[in-house]
Chain A
């Protein structure tokens, strides 16, 4: 175990060194001007411009350069010259992912034990999934590029990961599907102590509003606090209204149509002006439509749900960059045991990997063809953006279906095991009775917690 720890820290350290080398020899790599790396929202040059405007007592939003929060200017503004911040942010991200992974692993093992399937997940030969996830995040070329290319996406990723981390630490996160426990309950209902179990279940499924209200209250307090601070910052430059228009309005109305790896810029460059609002609504509703069905289907796996949400939003957001992809690919590593484990294969993993490599290499080539050589045109670049979006869709669909069939397999195994044990159940009535009771209790409790986390996630992401 210690050797593995050492290996992890060695690789993590190497990635930091690699970043530092790239940062201090940037003469040939003009990464910060690549459209894949820096979008209007994440470009550090824009942030520096906003900071400069603020320093000279102008509105930071003047000239449509900066589109972030005014508070971010206070935090990051003085640090714009030091690219070390992003390296630190990346390392912190990786460590947070690692801790999340640890939590996930512990709770996963607990649930499996509760289902008496504890013999299954023994992976001795490879690194634990938390280390894999952290290393995937650290060594992902996308992460490295967005770190070296001085975009603020490592910082934004840190905010997302931090909230995920908070959600995972407060409540034990992942469970196998709740239906499993239902099945168990039904089975045990046939036995002589059914009424007690039913009573337990009925008692526990009463929805408790307390954590939800608590969460809502805290989030309202926090948002008011942030808004007041923002209002103080921009009170001379048009107030909160101006801020909302320049930040959220900029994101929602997509006025900047400079090319990026998303699909919206091309579409809104082509669309007729009087249809623009209609299509804006359609595109943004797309994200919202997916929130609820996914939440219902994946409610037993809030962390995985968070991954799916992040992937979808990075696919459909107005100004995507490779930093977003780095985030969800890192989170994908957390589920490597479930997705590629013994029960289920992600069949297209190799194919997805090839497309990933191909698209990420093709994108700069097409950009070069369009901008520098002039032999291509915007369609060339947009074609890679479309391929990239398709790749992301396939990735999400594949991983969700793999996860669901993993859970299905688990259920089948557990039912089989349960039926085996049912034959011996009559001899050990009391023991199984108590075990069932605790299992059901924990299952129901966890479901409620999951719901809270789910709302938490949804709230964070919608913000």
Chain B
């Protein structure tokens, strides 16, 4: 028993290593944070070339069968569609009827799918429940509906249990040339596939009615596909909505006399889905193919799907494949310099040993960073970049292929060529997917693209994140250990009976944990407030923003007075430093847990949040003490903290960024509300983030400031300070990815939200 009292002479190496790290936590955290940021910047260099992992896919192993005959048919179809525009009345219904007619002539099974775009509803726990758990209330007027047309070709060699989906969004009210072309491309493929003998999976062609948004139509169809509705919705609607009645009349009078089945047709589980879009862009010299892959909450389709599209487009059909980039980053000076630096380092390395491949050309590096930033931004935002996002919610891999022809497609030869190549690309992809025996599972789901042919896998980018957040537990442990030691040494000096809390000195953290918990609770209340604010009818964004602000301030006060009651403690000023240290360590560990959780849910959000939060957490110090000491270092730290606070304040950041890009005259407070609304409409993890993490900082700041100033200052003054900073933090929730945002994307977001 005496041995336990004496300090142990030899400890195990891992324990010694841990103690060493904890005792040097400051230098350790500086090194780790720098390494984390550096590793993030190195990602384009560490990216690997993509490869097709699933052997069954065999892309490009067969000659394309799509012939000029199919293209001519498609041309006729496109012409008929565009001709519909000149007809005045009911062109929407007409176009669906025309498409159904063409599908039926190909021998496909056709049905219409009537839907109401779902009202954007905020479910606080949607992330943790299954996608279909929310019941949908339908009380929408019938003027607000859309009609999808669905054609299904049954596979001659299949058993009807698997399917591949083609989606072509188009606006049924006004069909543009590009939309008609995308329909034509899909039609040419569909007409080919209705004849071929090798098909083993059914082909579903969904012509989605995008007059209420592309995403809404597809997601409504998917919802009805996966969740059988046993009530006949349209029979109810038929009584009230004349438009739909008209559709049914038309159907009955259709030329061939065959009836169109008015139920919902299904074709088994979906192996993959391709969304085909054609856009007019005249600036390019080549036929372009843009791939959009980001689904909701940073989910990505299997990399193999992107790989086969990329392979076929580049090596077979001669498209120029692109993924989205942040264009503003391409011109930035410092990135170029950094790229040149890395390039020269790479040259030095390869001169030492030619086996070592390190470094890429500076231009490639800049492009890689721009692509990576865009990918990170889109994933972090959690808003899907197209209708393909709806498929991911049902575990179907889907991407959007955006084809843009070289020049305008007025000439018929040019148009034929374009249709032929686009159709052959899609035919090749479908041929590959048709070969699949199982779901996509071989390749990666967690990756970031740096170019269409290069990717960073989860094992690599996690290193950057791990380095970034590693200081948090270290510093927390060292703070905690210091506080405990301080505690015990003080206890030895003092008599024990004085302090009530010392009896449970190892449970000292319970108090701090309580405080952190209360601030979190407040955070979740604030984040749930918009749900209730939305119930208020006739509100403008500005009004709702102000209501939100006021309510969160109010709820903070209530919580502060009832639950936290930090004023009941804090009797002796010597205790402050120690308690503050424990509070900080609890906060940091909670941040660490939250960031790690978030990195599992949505890596990009965690990475960007970590970039913002980790320095904040590491540097946070009681403000009053800094002011009182007044030396240069403390004042600079204070300034740093304040600046970070300001950056973290979402409306401020929002305004600054928007001002920088668009000029300050167009700013409206309500815009921020719109943005927030769009985020929770998509149940973005970014929004979920608040509840867990960002308030921590509020916890830390709020409590420390309260604690340290209370002994010196009047109540009112503190309240103002605390209020200022805490409320600042309350709105930080959604905005930490601001660093990489451009206003174009932002507006896109808002438009999306409004269109929903």
A residues whose Cβ falls under 8 Å from a Cβ of B: 27-30, 123-126, 336, 340-342, 345-347, 349-350, 353-354, 357-358, 361-362, 364-366, 368-369, 372-375, 405, 408, 412
CB contacts (< 8 Å) of B500 on chain A: these are: 124-126
Q: Is the CB of A28 within 8 A of B445?
A: no
B657 in contact (CB, < 8 A): no
Per the bound structure, the CA–CA distance linking A27 and B129 in Å amounts to: 11
Given contacts A125-B500, A336-B504, A366-B600, 5 further A-B contacts (CB under 8 A): A349-B506, A349-B507, A368-B127, A372-B395, A412-B1
Q: Is the CB of B299 within 8 A of A29?
A: no
Q: Is the CB of A408 within 8 A of B1?
A: yes
Q: Is the CB of B128 within 8 A of A364?
A: yes
Q: Which 6 pairs, one residue from A and one from B, show the smallest C-beta to C-beta distance?
A: A125-B500, A345-B506, A375-B445, A374-B395, A358-B593, A28-B125
> Given the interface contacts A29-B125, A358-B596, A364-B128, does A126 sit within 8 Å of B446 by beta carbon?
no
B 416-439 to A, binary, CB cutoff 8 A, 1 in contact else 0? 000000000000000000000001
B503 in contact (CB, < 8 A): yes
Q: Is the CB of A362 within 8 A of B299?
A: no
Per the bound structure, the CA–CA distance linking A223 and B38 in Å amounts to: 68
Q: Is the CB of B504 within 8 A of A341?
A: yes
Instruction: Return the chain A residue nearest B134 by Cβ.
Output: A28
CB contacts (< 8 Å) of B504 on chain A: these are: 126, 336, 340-341
B123 in contact (CB, < 8 A): yes
B 103-128 to A, binary, CB cutoff 8 A, 1 in contact else 0? 00000000000000000000111111
Q: Is the CB of A342 within 8 A of B496?
A: yes
B130 in contact (CB, < 8 A): yes
- Selected A-B contacts with CB under 8 Å, 15 pairs: A126-B503, A342-B496, A350-B480, A350-B586, A353-B513, A354-B593, A362-B596, A365-B128, A365-B597, A368-B128, A369-B601, A372-B395, A374-B439, A405-B4, A412-B1
Q: How far is the CB of A70 from chain B (nearest CB, A)?
A: 34
Per the bound structure, the CA–CA distance linking A353 and B508 in Å amounts to: 13
CB contacts (< 8 Å) of A336 on chain B: these are: 504, 507
Q: Is the CB of A123 within 8 A of B503?
A: yes
Q: Is the CB of A354 within 8 A of B129?
A: no
Per the bound structure, the CA–CA distance linking A345 and B709 in Å amounts to: 32
CB contacts (< 8 Å) of A347 on chain B: these are: 506
* Among A124, A372, A375: residue with most chain B CB under 10 A: A375
Q: Is the CB of B125 within 8 A of A373?
A: no
B 369-402 to A, binary, CB cutoff 8 A, 1 in contact else 0? 0000000000000000000000010010000000
B 589-603 to A, binary, CB cutoff 8 A, 1 in contact else 0? 110010011001100
Per the bound structure, the CA–CA distance linking A372 and B299 in Å amounts to: 12
Q: How far is the CB of A132 from chain B (nearest CB, A)?
A: 10
B505 in contact (CB, < 8 A): yes
CB contacts (< 8 Å) of B505 on chain A: these are: 340, 345
B501 in contact (CB, < 8 A): yes
CB contacts (< 8 Å) of B129 on chain A: these are: 28-30
Q: How far is the CB of B8 from chain A (nearest CB, A)?
A: 14
Q: Is the CB of B503 within 8 A of A372?
A: no
B141 in contact (CB, < 8 A): no
Q: How far is the CB of A373 from chain B (nearest CB, A)?
A: 6
CB contacts (< 8 Å) of A358 on chain B: these are: 593, 596-597
Instruction: Return the chain B residue nearest A411 by Cβ.
Output: B1
CB contacts (< 8 Å) of A369 on chain B: these are: 600-601
Per the bound structure, the CA–CA distance linking A412 and B4 in Å amounts to: 13
Q: How far is the CB of B133 from chain A (nearest CB, A)?
A: 6
CB contacts (< 8 Å) of B102 on chain A: these are: none
CB contacts (< 8 Å) of B586 on chain A: these are: 350
CB contacts (< 8 Å) of B589 on chain A: these are: 350, 354
Q: Which parts of B414-466 form the interface with A (CB within 8 Å)? A: 439, 445-446
CB contacts (< 8 Å) of A375 on chain B: these are: 299, 445-446
Per the bound structure, the CA–CA distance linking A341 and B124 in Å amounts to: 41
Which of B130, B585, B600 makes the CB contact (< 8 A) with A362?
Answer: B600
CB contacts (< 8 Å) of A123 on chain B: these are: 503
Instruction: Return the chain B residue nearest A380 by Cβ.
Output: B600
CB contacts (< 8 Å) of A29 on chain B: these are: 125, 129
Q: Is the CB of A362 within 8 A of B597?
A: yes
Q: Is the CB of B299 within 8 A of A361?
A: no
CB contacts (< 8 Å) of A341 on chain B: these are: 503-504
Q: Is the CB of A30 within 8 A of B507?
A: no
B257 in contact (CB, < 8 A): no
Q: How far is the CB of B129 from chain A (nearest CB, A)?
A: 5
B228 in contact (CB, < 8 A): no
Q: Which parts of B576-612 form the interface with A (CB within 8 Å)? A: 585-586, 589-590, 593, 596-597, 600-601
Q: Is the CB of A373 within 8 A of B600?
A: no
Instruction: Return the chain B residue nearest A348 by Cβ.
Output: B506
CB contacts (< 8 Å) of B503 on chain A: these are: 123, 125-126, 341-342
B509 in contact (CB, < 8 A): yes
CB contacts (< 8 Å) of B135 on chain A: these are: 27
CB contacts (< 8 Å) of A340 on chain B: these are: 504-507
CB contacts (< 8 Å) of B513 on chain A: these are: 353
Q: How far is the CB of B28 from chain A (nearest CB, A)?
A: 18
Q: Which parts of B276-335 form the interface with A (CB within 8 Å)? A: 299
CB contacts (< 8 Å) of B130 on chain A: these are: 30, 372
B131 in contact (CB, < 8 A): yes
CB contacts (< 8 Å) of A373 on chain B: these are: 299, 392, 395
> Given the interface contacts A124-B500, A126-B500, A375-B445, does A361 sit within 8 Å of B507 by beta carbon?
no
Q: How far is the CB of A144 from chain B (nearest CB, A)?
A: 15
Q: How far is the CB of B20 from chain A (nearest CB, A)?
A: 18
Q: Is the CB of A28 within 8 A of B506?
A: no
Q: Is the CB of A125 within 8 A of B593?
A: no
CB contacts (< 8 Å) of B585 on chain A: these are: 350
Per the bound structure, the CA–CA distance linking A369 and B445 in Å amounts to: 11
Q: How far is the CB of A244 from chain B (nearest CB, A)?
A: 37
* Among B125, B503, B586: residue with most chain A CB under 10 A: B503
B 486-526 to A, binary, CB cutoff 8 A, 1 in contact else 0? 00000000001000111111110100010000000000000
Instruction: Return the chain B residue nearest A408 by Cβ.
Output: B1
Per the bound structure, the CA–CA distance linking A179 and B584 in Å amounts to: 43
Q: How far is the CB of B532 from chain A (nearest CB, A)?
A: 14
Per the bound structure, the CA–CA distance linking A354 and B504 in Å amounts to: 18
Per the bound structure, the CA–CA distance linking A340 and B487 in Å amounts to: 14
CB contacts (< 8 Å) of A349 on chain B: these are: 506-507, 509
Per the bound structure, the CA–CA distance linking A345 and B589 in Å amounts to: 20
CB contacts (< 8 Å) of B123 on chain A: these are: 28
CB contacts (< 8 Å) of A362 on chain B: these are: 596-597, 600
Per the bound structure, the CA–CA distance linking A405 and B596 in Å amounts to: 35
Instruction: Return the chain A residue nearest B129 by Cβ.
Output: A30
Which of B1, B445, B509 makes the CB contact (< 8 A) with A353?
Answer: B509
Per the bound structure, the CA–CA distance linking A372 and B496 in Å amounts to: 55
CB contacts (< 8 Å) of B501 on chain A: these are: 125
CB contacts (< 8 Å) of B128 on chain A: these are: 364-365, 368
Q: How far is the CB of A8 from chain B (nearest CB, A)?
A: 17
Q: Is the CB of B480 within 8 A of A361?
A: no
Per the bound structure, the CA–CA distance linking A373 and B513 in Å amounts to: 33
Instruction: Return the chain B residue nearest A405 by Cβ.
Output: B4
> Given the interface contacts A124-B500, A126-B504, A374-B395, does A361 sit within 8 Å of B593 by beta carbon?
yes
Q: Which parts of B124-176 form the interface with A (CB within 8 Å)? A: 124-131, 133-135
Q: How far is the CB of A152 from chain B (nearest CB, A)?
A: 23
Q: Is the CB of B509 within 8 A of A350?
A: yes
Per the bound structure, the CA–CA distance linking A85 and B395 in Å amounts to: 39
CB contacts (< 8 Å) of A125 on chain B: these are: 500-501, 503
Instruction: Return the chain B residue nearest A361 by Cβ.
Output: B597
Q: Which parts of B1-36 form the interface with A (CB within 8 Å)? A: 1, 4
CB contacts (< 8 Å) of B601 on chain A: these are: 365, 369
CB contacts (< 8 Å) of B395 on chain A: these are: 372-374
Q: How far is the CB of B52 from chain A (nearest CB, A)?
A: 19
* Among A357, A374, A408: residue with most chain B CB under 10 A: A374
Per the bound structure, the CA–CA distance linking A342 and B501 in Å amounts to: 11
Per the bound structure, the CA–CA distance linking A146 and B609 in Å amounts to: 33
Q: How far is the CB of A38 from chain B (nearest CB, A)?
A: 15
Per the bound structure, the CA–CA distance linking A440 and B18 in Å amounts to: 47
